[in-house]
Structure 1
Amino acid sequence: MHLCGNPRFHLQKQRMRCMLHIVINPTAGKGRAGRLQEQVAKRLAEMNIPHNFHFTQNRMEATDIVRRLTEDMTGDIDIVAMGGDGTLNEVLNGVVDPEKVRLGLIPCGSGNDFAAVAGIPEDVNAAIDVIARGTARYTDYMQCGNIRGINAIGTGIDVDILRRRAKAKILKGSLCYLVSLVASAVSYKGCIFTEETDKGSVPHHAFIACAGNGKRMGGGISLCPDATIDDGLLDIVIVDNLKLYQLPGAFLKLMTGKILEHPHTVFHRSARMKVVSSNTMPIQIDGEIYEDMPFNVEIVHNKLRVYRP
């Protein structure tokens, strides 16, 4: 059987020979992805790996490109996201049938949270080597309505933080997240909702609520520090009923990856998370804000394969 069509490929290690479809956001990482495109092309040519670049110019264009690439395929296909976490999310949401896709990542964004969790290096040649010589391993993703996420889905102050970060002109990464977090904390009043679990309904007045597949968000903030990307479970973290004087301690725990140690943190694992609120409650999926989407998340296990060490 031809290697590219072998359903057991995810269990094997070998040198890449299939066509790589590289979806590149040239503006990712302040233009870093665009500047590295020639280096990637040269490296792949040296390794005799056939490849095509698909450039995006607009928001959500990566989703459209991947949908066209995957809608009529008969066998497996290799697709590489070259950009940041946003590009990766757009690529994931364009996949028609995740079971027929092997997904690679060349991280070139400002945060690269998923790449860090998956062990994919930011060095371009090293990232290509992971794709070319590594293994396509089963990797969980999350489904929320008709939108997929691979890193984190949440509500609460993180939505307010993302809005502030989007307006930031100078600061980037975790420093921008911290500054935005402090600014948001001054005015944020919390969100009131009920979490529906297998054991019943639990009311919350939360500072932040997150269903995590990956450990990190916001350019290095470990909100779900114990999460694993292939265990078939969401790490559910809710920071509940915080008083104003307790915010500094919660911030410190969050920034040092120890939020689970805070006495007001509720933590458990589940294959799904459903949140019900009487008010419209915006959510974020991998850093993208959705104003009117119900917070009803489930993990998808053993469907998607990702090239990672």
Structure 2
Amino acid sequence: MYYFIINPHSGNGKGYKICRKLERHLGKACVEYEIFLAKEPGEASLIARRLTEGCREPVTIVAVGGDGTVNEVLDGLCFHSSVTMGFISAGTGNDLAKSLRIPENSGRSLKRILYPRNHKLLDYGVISYGKEEVFHRRFAVSAGIGLDGAVCHDMMYSFRGKPQLRFLRYLLIGIKQLLVARPAKGYLVLDGIQKVEFNHIYFVSVHIHPFEGGGFRFAPGADYSDGKLTLCVAHNSSKWGMIPALANAFIGRHKRYKGMRNYECREVEIHVDRPMAVHVDGESCQMQTEIQLRCIQKKLRMIV
């Protein structure tokens, strides 16, 4: 049985157009399927939970949208049954699609899902945050605290317009957030053993996959099946000193820069001395001073 959870608003309406195409293609294919539209934030997660909770039969859940839609579906899945996940890219950033080399063409992606040749067991991450009430949320691609979280938060609540303008909008928001960014003092605890302190943290991004923010490769060595998180810590006494590193992360050059450090671990605690914006797969987790993240190895079965 195939269940398609579609965000019709993804890609500024691209999700709705793909939904119409899928209905035509699926009508010709001899498969059982059902389509669900997730029109409100959090709805995709609720649908995924309802479809898989208590289910003992093999099911394929297909997320149609961007990285945020994948995040919601993943967060809602119950892994009691044989759950396989598929993905049809309809977003604007599409970091997961870049990493897994999923076609942009929805017809080709659907063909892979209906007639799969290859499945992969992928890692995913879990973030925990909050003091009075602790929240837990899964993430498929990356999570972060600081400047990257502020940019994602700003994009979520301010971006409207054509997908072609997304990069320009992202660039302008990134410049704005960089101008107002203030570093924080803080430290990381890697695997409960190694403590690393920093005086000028601008952001810490935590990766399952290499990409973030629509193509920034902050973790070029990230491997989605090794059971490890790959961290990128941006720390510099001068924010302008980070510009060459940010530019090269976007164009894909991998050089060591002062103020950019990478680590690998299975779990990490991140503490900063003042609240900073947090995101998971581009979705906002508001402002936090402490977060904990861990990697769940090869639990997500996905068609690629």
Common fold by TM > 0.5? yes
The corresponding residue for 2:176 is 183
SS at match of 1:281: strand
Q: Which amino acid aligns with 1:159?
A: G
The corresponding residue for 1:265 is 260
The corresponding residue for 2:132 is none
The corresponding residue for 1:196 is 189
Q: Cα distance, 1:105 vs. partner?
A: 0.5
Contact 1:206–1:240 (Cα < 8 Å) also in 2: yes
TM-score relative to the length of structure 2? 0.89
Q: After alignment, is 39-48 or 23-32 more displaced? A: 39-48
Contact 2:245–2:260 (Cα < 8 Å) also in 1: no
Q: Which amino acid aligns with 1:207?
A: Y
SS at match of 1:237: strand
Aligned-pair Cα RMSD in Å: 1.9
1:217 maps to which of 212, 217, 220: 212
Q: Which amino acid aligns with 2:19?
A: Q
In the alignment, the residues of structure 2 paired with residue 137 and residue 98 of structure 1 have an alpha-carbon distance, to the nearest angstrom, of 18
Which runs of 5 or more residues in structure 2 are unaligned?
A: 129-135
Q: Cα distance, 1:287 vs. partner?
A: 0.9
Residues 244-263 of structure 1 correspond to what in structure 2 (within 5 A)?
A: 244-258=239-253, 261-263=256-258
Q: Does 1:274 align with 2:264?
A: no
CA spacing shift, 1:246–1:277, aligned 2, 3 Å = closer
In the alignment, the residues of structure 2 paired with residue 100 and residue 191 of structure 1 have an alpha-carbon distance, to the nearest angstrom, of 44
In the alignment, the residues of structure 2 paired with residue 277 and residue 22 of structure 1 have an alpha-carbon distance, to the nearest angstrom, of 40
Contact 2:217–2:250 (Cα < 8 Å) also in 1: yes
Q: Cα distance, 1:186 vs. partner?
A: 1.0
Q: After alignment, is 69-78 or 276-285 more displaced? A: 276-285
Q: Does 1:168 align with 2:159?
A: yes
The corresponding residue for 1:129 is 111
Q: Which amino acid aligns with 1:184?
A: Q
Q: Cα distance, 1:54 vs. partner?
A: 0.6
Number of aligned positions between the proteins:
290
SS at match of 2:18: helix
1:112 maps to which of 94, 107, 111: 94
Contact 2:147–2:277 (Cα < 8 Å) also in 1: no
Contact 1:120–1:130 (Cα < 8 Å) also in 2: no
In the alignment, the residues of structure 2 paired with residue 306 and residue 255 of structure 1 have an alpha-carbon distance, to the nearest angstrom, of 27
Q: After alignment, is 35-44 or 187-196 more displaced? A: 35-44
Contact 1:210–1:238 (Cα < 8 Å) also in 2: yes
Q: Cα distance, 1:99 vs. partner?
A: 6.2
Q: Cα distance, 1:45 vs. partner?
A: 3.1
Contact 1:99–1:305 (Cα < 8 Å) also in 2: no
Q: Does 1:142 align with 2:144?
A: no
In the alignment, the residues of structure 2 paired with residue 299 and residue 237 of structure 1 have an alpha-carbon distance, to the nearest angstrom, of 15
Q: Which amino acid aligns with 2:17?
A: R
In the alignment, the residues of structure 1 paired with residue 106 and residue 127 of structure 2 have an alpha-carbon distance, to the nearest angstrom, of 32
The corresponding residue for 2:133 is none
Q: Which amino acid aligns with 2:291?
A: F
Q: Cα distance, 1:253 vs. partner?
A: 2.0
Which runs of 5 or more residues in structure 1 are unaligned?
A: 1-18
Contact 2:148–2:205 (Cα < 8 Å) also in 1: no
1:159 maps to which of 149, 152, 156: 149
TM-score relative to the length of structure 1? 0.87
